[in-house]
Structure formats: structure tokens, C-alpha cells
Amino acid sequence: MLLIVRTDQVVADTAEPTTQSLQGMQTMATSDDAAPLQHRKTTQELTEEFKNLNWAKVDEYNSFKAKLVEQACAEERIRRKNWLRSELEAQLEEQREQERAKQKAAYEKMQLQKEVLDAQMLERHKLEEESKAEQLRESREILEQVSKDIEIERRMALRAKQQKARAMQEILEVTAAERRLAEARAKKEQEEDMRLLKLNVQLEKEAAERSKQERQMLLSLHQSRADKIAMLATVDKARQTLYSRAFHVNERHAVVVKELATQYALKRDAADQARKEAMEKEAAARKKAEQLKVHEFLKFQQEEKQRQKRMEKQERYEIQKQQELDAEVRGVCATTAQQNAYRSFLRTHCGTSCANFNYMRLTLRRAYFQEYKRKQEVELRNRRELCKRQQDLLIQQMEERKHNKDILVCRRPVARMITTANANALVSQTEMKLNRRLLEEVNTYLASKAQPLQDQPNASI
């Protein structure tokens, strides 16, 4: 459509020189009329010349003049056709240049987008690999920690079992020692009883021997009763004396034996009572010691269980805290370096206390999110300004192209060719400036985006 319009304009423009050239030729043909007044011929002279005119020469002149006009028209048509062809070729070449420039700009834009997408995909792939490696490392650490905990629990259970076996062995050893002491004590008591029984039997044997000797003596005294009738009174007296002595001896012996038996019985009862009390005291002390040992063992076992529960609770709390910290770091930071920096920052400033850690973590997280939000807003504002500048540059480029096209349409044909070349030069320079500026801005934006944000935690503080 543009080509048709320009062709019409060119035809209209080329029609003017033809008219002007014809007018010029007519002016040249009537050059005699355009002469000064003092050189003009009078009517009489003109009449004489008309009478003496050679009409053959006039016809020849008219035919020559027609040939000249026809030749001038043919040359003008050829010139106009050649000029129109060159103009159309220039316009076609301009359109081809514009199409090539558009294709080149589109290709460069596509290449730039492809490079940006490749860089983003590479960064995303790297982040995914790092996150997978981090997850594998964390799972490996958790498995190692769990295996260590299981090994610690197994060792503690084995230690508790060994302690229990050792305590039972000690209890059995103490019980065996007490049994041996009781057996030795019973053996000693049995030996003492046998000794006392032997002493009693010996005393009874001595008493029987003494009574036998007394009977034999009495029998010997009564052997010859007849012979001793005379000495009856003496014998009776002696007998009475002997009977009284024997009675006193037997009575004294019985009293001594009874006293000895009573003393022995009292001593034995006292010894039995003392031994029984001592055994009861020893049994009570042993039972109390066993109860104390069992109580201490149960107390130690309960304390060990409570300590183990506290350790498990603390470990679970530490694991939960680490998981929360990791989740928070993954949600806040993009790269692994930023996550490690944020973890070290929290460990450094929050400490190990639960309340201090929660308070400091909330405070620092709030400050960190505020700083992160501020940076995101600044980045979004810069991006909007960049888009606005690009739009302004594109609008300026479109206006320059439109202005150059208007200049091309309004100028004369010959001047239009020069203006077209200058306009193409101006457009190409503008496009070069625009492309260079866009390339610089895109490179700056990609460099600022690809730069690692390792100083965010420090900046947030």
C-alpha cells in the first residue's frame, strides 16, 4: 500500500517537470516575442516577411519542431521511467533493509532471551542439585545421629544390665557370706552344746562312780555283821556319820551341779539371746543395707531414665529447632551459601537458650524479612524504571522513524534520495545506539541478578 501511494506521489511529482520543460521549450520557441521592445519588428516589416515567407521551410520547421517535441517527450518518458524504477528499487531496498534489521533485532532478542533462559535454567538446576545434596547430607547426618543414639542406648542398656547383674552378684555374695557365717555360728553352737553335754555326762559318771564306791564301802562294812555286833554302836555311829557325810556330799554335789547347770543354762540362754539379738541386728542391718542398695539402684536407674528422657527431649527439641531453622532458611535464602551464612548468624546471635533463641530468632527474622522486602521493592522499582526507559526508547525510535518517513514523503524526488540515505543512516545510528544501550542495561541487570546475595544477613542486621 505504501509502495502504491509513493508511486502515485512520484508520478504526480514527475508530471511537474514535464510541464515545466514544455513551457520552457515554448518560451525558447517564442524567444523573438520575448525580445526587447526597441528590437521588435513593425507590422509592415512582419507583413513583408509573411509575404516573402517560404512555406516549405515553415513546414520543415514545424516537422522538425514536432520531432524535437516528440523526442523530448520520449526522453522525458524514458527518464521518468528510469527515475521511477530507481525510486522503486530504492524503496524496495529500504524495505528489505528494514526487514533485515527487524529480523536481526528479533534474532538478537531471541538469542538474548535464550541466553537468559539458559542461565536461569542452569542456575535453577544448580540450586536443585545443591538442595538435593543438602537434603542427602542432612538425611545422612540424621541417620548417623540416629545410629549413634541407638548405639548409645544399647550401651546404656548393656551398662544397666551389667550393673544389675553386678548388684545381684554382690547380693548373692553377701547372702552366701551370711549363710557361711550362720553355718559357722551354728556349728560353734553345736560344738558348745556337745561340750556341755559331755561335761554333764562326765559329771553324771563321776556321781555314779561315787555312789558305787559308797555302796561298795557300805557292803564292805556289812560283810561280817556277826563279827561286828560288838562294835554296833560304833558302827552305827560311824554309819550315821558316813550317811550324814555322804548326804552332805551328795547334797553339796547336787547343789553344785544344779548351780553349774543353772549358770550354764543362764549363760547359754544369755549367749543364745545375745547371739539371737546379734543375728537379728545383723539381719536387720543386712536387710537395711540391701534395701538401701536396692533403693539406690532404683534411684540411680530412675535418675538415669529421667536423664535419658531429658537428653531425648533435648535432642528432639534440637532436631525440631534445626528443622525449623532449615525450613526457615530455605524459605528465606535461595542459595546454599546464603543458607549457611544465615544459620551461622542465628547460632552466633541466638545462643543455645530456648527463650533467648526464640526471641532473638523472631526479632532477627522480622528484621531480615523487612530488609528482604525492602530489597525486593527496590529491585522491582528498578525493573519498572528499566521497562519504562525501554518503552520510552522504543517510542522515541518509532517517532524518529515516522519523522524520517514523513521527510522522505515531503521532499522532492532527487532530494528524497539523499534524504532517504541520510534517514537510513540516522535510523541505523539510532538503532545501533538503542541496541547498545539495551545490551548494556541487560548485561548490568543480569550481572546484578547473578551476583550472590551473601551479604543479606549482615545488611539485615
User: What residue segments make up the domains of the chain, in order of their start?
Assistant: 145-316, 335-461
Looking at the chain, the whole-number percentage of residues with pLDDT higher than 70 is 55
CB neighbour list of residue 66: distance below 8 Å, 6 or more residues apart = none
Side-chain half-sphere CA neighbours of 379 within 13 A: 12
- The whole-number average pLDDT for the span 220-235 is 58
Over the range 264-277, which residues count as b (16 or more CB within 10 Å of their CB) and which as e?
A: eeeebeeeeeeeee
Helix (H, G, I), strand (E, B) or coil at 231: coil
Q: Is residue 300 predicted with pLDDT exceeding 50?
A: yes
- Residues of the chain by 3-state class (helix, strand, coil), percent to 5: 90, 0, 10
Least confident interval from 308-322, 329-343, 353-367, 404-418: 404-418
Indicate if the pLDDT at residue 421 is higher than 60.
Answer: no
Question: In which band, very low, low, confident or very high, does the pLDDT at 18 lie, cut at 50, 70 and 90?
Answer: very low
Place of cell 522491582: 380
Given the C-alpha cell 541487560, which residue does it identify?
A: 442
Q: Answer whether 411's CB lies under 8 Å from 419's CB.
A: yes
Between the two ends of the chain, the Cα-to-Cα distance in Å is 65
Confidence of residue 425 (pLDDT cuts 50, 70, 90): very low
- Rounded Cα distance between 203 and 365, Å, is 105
Rounded Cα distance, 318 and 340, in Å = 17
The pair phi, psi for residue 222, each rounded to 5°, is -95, 15
Query: What pLDDT score does 53 carry?
Result: 57
pLDDT at 100 over 50: yes
Show the cell assigned to 329.
532458611
User: What span, in angstroms and rounded, lies between the C-alpha atoms of 68 and 74?
Assistant: 10
Identify which has the larger pLDDT, 344 or 300. 300
Q: What is the pLDDT confidence band of residue 247, given thresholds at 50, 70 and 90?
A: low
3-state secondary structure of 412: coil
How is 26-54 classified by DSSP, letter by letter?
Answer: HHHHTTTTTS-GGG---HHHHHHHHHT--
Phi and psi at 378, nearest 5°, equal: -65, -45
Picking from 369, 378, 364, 370, the residue whose alpha carbon sits closest to that of residue 461 is: 364
Q: How do residues 147-170 score in pLDDT, each as one tens digit?
A: 788 888 888 888 888 887 787 777
Per-residue pLDDT at 419 exceeds 50: no
Output the CA angle 351-339-459, nearest 5 degrees. Answer: 75
Name the pLDDT band for 61 (thresholds 50, 70, 90): low
pLDDT for 371 equals 77
pLDDT at residue 78 in the model: 92
